[in-house]
Structure 1
Amino acid sequence: MLRIRYEVPGGPEVLFAEDVPVPAPGPGELLLRSEAVGVTLPVVRKVREAAEPIALGGEIAGTVAALGEGVTDFAVGERVTGLCFGHGYAEYAVLHTAMASRVPGGATSVEAVALVRSGLVARGAVGAGQIRPGESVLVTAAASGVGSLAVQLARAAGAGRVVAAVSSRDKADFVRGLGADEVVLYGEGAWGDPYDVVLDGVGGELLGPAVRALATGGRLVAYGSGGGTVEAYELLVRGASVIGFQIRAVAQGRPEEYEGWRRGLWEAYASGALRPAVHEEIPLAEAARAHRITEERRNLGKVVLIP
């Protein structure tokens, strides 16, 4: 089978394709014939920055091809999506049942990888922000896979004003189409009136301006992989707070709540209240191009690899 791997850290150019045997599922695992693989910014960053090569994991969706020992909740032939911590950039991938959920009829595998993992992160970030009816919300990286869903979920949570922060003006129509009332650009001065809640998926150098954009008593939810430093004084003068959110902590520590979130996402999708956005479907062998689009933040929604 085809699998994408790399041996030394670097940009998208370090990725290469190889032919390897189909893996066997272990106890509690599923073997999926993959139909879609979601590209995430954290994985793209790790390829460039990690000291040692990592397995290219992430969101996958496909059809169950084999069951590991002890698996009784799934059957061969079912369509499943979930988070793969091993080699996910491949024609076949192993998925632990704890990370797996069924893809309902009417949804494609591409829609599944655009909705579920990104939607869970967005759902968790919105919940951590404790948005109250009528409050103002700023969403950074609003055109990303997570951000595009966070814009919609913030509106559904009762936000009175939702503002999308993006890197370039050509993303404005896209985020407005998701429900954003206004659009602001990074690096163009102040981001409008202060916000009750900032949902930040960027971090790094953007974290400081995001904190300064908070209103008195505001809350910033940091859920991205970009790191960054917060000045305590900036929080003090605003009476503001910063909340870190990580979806893995929910998946491992509160599995029933995690499953409830997944069901809620599919229900919102089925009703038309939540629309996952897909930037492009790219052949698996062209993973380097998919990484380049994501790293350069040119995507409008999710970049998806097709094995």
Structure 2
Amino acid sequence: MRRVRYESTGGPLFLEEAPVPEPGPGELLVRCEAVGVTLPVVRKVTEAPEPIPLGGEIAGEVLAAGAGVTRFRTGDRVTGLCFGHGYADFALLQETMATAVPAAASAVEAVALVRSGLVALGALTAARPEPGETALLTAAASGVGHLAVQLAGVRGAGRVVGAVSDPAKAPFVRSLGADTVVTYADGDWGAPADYVLDAVGGDLLTPAVAALAPGGRLVAYSSGGGTVRAYDLLAGAKSVTGFQMARIARERPALYEEWRQELWRLFAEGAVRPAVHGEFALTEAAQAHRAVETRANMGKVVLIP
């Protein structure tokens, strides 16, 4: 089979031939029909001290199941987060991370919806939204952000503000239901906001906190780092919560599954629609990474093996 790999930090991505993996206990062998590209994986390629397997969301058909697998069988269509080599024709998926793909959804829709949607829904839940509140979402055109915009509306936000890096993204974000779209260079970001879901971090944390109304809540779910000054929180009785999806998947599997089912329900009802920025071949993995790294994407970036 073919898979994408690299040999040194920041090094070029290339295709290599590798044996088809054998599923171990609790694992599924999946023929990959679509692979989602995530910002954390893109950053690890450029920042991690040692090369890592290129994993991420995958969707496709189950070809074989390892010992102990009970929920899926050969021929089932599944999607989930692959921790090993996912940029490949075939990949291994832990049964605990897998969810069935409904007949009405394509593999591309599945990788664009499930993992990114879980992060968006989890971060939104952590913000404890109340009906009628103003929501401010950074990276509103991203794979996660474009779903967060829609979910904020579903959860009853009275006003949804999308923050983006490029004003050219504004029509796309408005089409998702945002009432207002601002750029990071704007002054007040459409403040005041009752809660902010921040997917960028770094230098944007300070203006994100400043955009909060007194008593407002910021949920940070970015891998971009950054620092918040205690005084900026104290002055307006504001709060910051860190959200990590891996912790939910590991420690609260029932809630994780509940959120997955909610996403599929909203998809079936047409309340949430995943958008795809582009579909790239495995040979175009570097271009796919570049689209995510430069934040050029509007919606999910997907590889098609």
Coarse TM-score class (shorter-chain normalised): over 0.9
Matches within 5 A, 1:1-150: 1-10=1-10, 14-150=12-148
Is the Cα contact below 8 Å between 2:161 and 2:190 reproduced in 1?
A: no
Matches within 5 A, 1:152-191: 152-191=150-189
| Alpha-carbon separation, structure 2, partners of 1:175 and 1:250 | 28
Cα deviation 1:9-66 (Å, max 9, x = unaligned): 11xx611110111011100000000000000011101100111111111100000011
Shift of the alpha carbon at 1:133? 0.8
Comparing 276-285 with 171-180, greater Cα deviation is found at: 276-285
| Alpha-carbon separation, structure 1, partners of 2:304 and 2:123 | 28
Is the Cα contact below 8 Å between 2:219 and 2:240 reproduced in 1?
A: yes
| Matched AA of 1:99 | M
| Matched AA of 1:9 | T
| Alpha-carbon separation, structure 2, partners of 1:224 and 1:103 | 27
Alpha-carbon RMSD: 0.7
Aligned residues: 305
* Structure 1 runs, 4 residues or longer, greater than 4 Å off: none
Question: Secondary structure at the residue paired with 2:144?
Answer: helix
Shift of the alpha carbon at 1:71? 1.2
- Give the percent of matched residue pairs that are identical in Structure 1 and Structure 2: 67
| Alpha-carbon separation, structure 2, partners of 1:85 and 1:284 | 18
Shift of the alpha carbon at 1:210? 0.6
Match of 1:194 among 167, 192, 195: 192
| Alpha-carbon separation, structure 2, partners of 1:244 and 1:251 | 15
Residue matched to 1:230: 228
| Alpha-carbon separation, structure 2, partners of 1:71 and 1:162 | 42
TM-score, L = length of structure 2 = 0.99
Shift of the alpha carbon at 1:87? 0.5
Shift of the alpha carbon at 1:190? 2.0
Matches within 5 A, 1:259-298: 259-298=257-296
Q: Provide structure 2 residue ranges, at least 5 long, that are not aligned to the other structure.
A: none
| Alpha-carbon separation, structure 2, partners of 1:274 and 1:65 | 30
| Alpha-carbon separation, structure 1, partners of 2:281 and 2:292 | 15
Residue matched to 2:210: 212
| Matched AA of 1:8 | S
| Alpha-carbon separation, structure 2, partners of 1:255 and 1:300 | 30
| Alpha-carbon separation, structure 2, partners of 1:91 and 1:99 | 19
| Alpha-carbon separation, structure 2, partners of 1:154 and 1:59 | 23
| Matched AA of 1:286 | E
| Alpha-carbon separation, structure 2, partners of 1:58 and 1:41 | 10
| Alpha-carbon separation, structure 2, partners of 1:284 and 1:36 | 10
Match of 2:246 among 239, 245, 248: 248
Shift of the alpha carbon at 1:205? 1.0
| Matched AA of 2:9 | P
| Matched AA of 1:93 | A
| Alpha-carbon separation, structure 2, partners of 1:175 and 1:136 | 16
Shift of the alpha carbon at 1:275? 0.5
| Matched AA of 2:288 | A
| Alpha-carbon separation, structure 2, partners of 1:106 and 1:136 | 33
| Alpha-carbon separation, structure 2, partners of 1:192 and 1:83 | 35
TM-score, L = length of structure 1 = 0.98
Shift of the alpha carbon at 1:188? 2.4
Q: Provide structure 1 residue ranges, at least 5 long, that are not aligned to the other structure.
A: none
Shift of the alpha carbon at 1:296? 0.6
